[in-house]
């Protein structure tokens, strides 16, 4: 099973990872605000993750670690 780790405090909530995910695993946590004042990304459907790393590929801030 794939495992996603986020450096949540460095997330700027741009959402590029959310848009690119083919399995709709990710969302911006509108109920949370990180240290930078953004709604950070979180995995809401991690079991669907296929570890394609598209999210990490498009993340400008390099906050996502993908393991399989």
Partner 1 sequence: MVVFEKPHALTDVPLHYCPGCTHGIVHRLVAEVIDELGIEGKTIGIAPVGCSVMAYNYFNCDMIEAAHGRAPAVATGVKRANPENIVFTYQGDGDLASIGMAETVHSAARNENITIIFINNAIYGMTGGQMAPTSLPGQITQTSPYGRDTNHCGFPIKVCEMLAQVDGAQYLERVAVNNVKNVKNAKKAIKKAFQNQVEGKGFSLVEVISTCPTNWGLTPKKALEWVDEKMIPYYPLGVYKDNTAEKEAE
Alpha-carbon distance of 39 to 45, in angstroms, equals 17
Give the DSSP H/E element, type plus range, for residue 41.
strand 41-43
- Of 16, 23, 27, 29, the residue at the interface with partner 1 (CB under 8 A) is 16
Bridge pairing between strands 3-6 and 26-28 = unpaired
- Of 8, 20, 29, 46, the residue at the interface with partner 1 (CB under 8 A) is 20
Give the DSSP H/E element, type plus range, for residue 56.
helix 54-58
- Of 8, 14, 27, 29, the residue at the interface with partner 1 (CB under 8 A) is 14
Asked if residue 62 binds partner 1 (CB under 8 A), the reply is: yes
Region 28-57 residues binding partner 1, contact defined as CB under 8 A? 36, 38, 51, 53-54, 56-57
């Amino acid at each position: 099973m794939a495992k996603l780790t986020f450096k949540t405090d460095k997330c700027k909530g741009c959402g590029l990872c959310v848009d690119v995910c083919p399995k709709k695993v990710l969302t911006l946590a509108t109920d949370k605000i990180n240290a930078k004042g953004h709604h950070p990304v979180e995995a809401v459907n991690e079991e669907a993750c296929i570890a394609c790393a598209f999210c990490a590929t498009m993340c400008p801030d390099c906050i996502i670690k993908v393991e399989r």
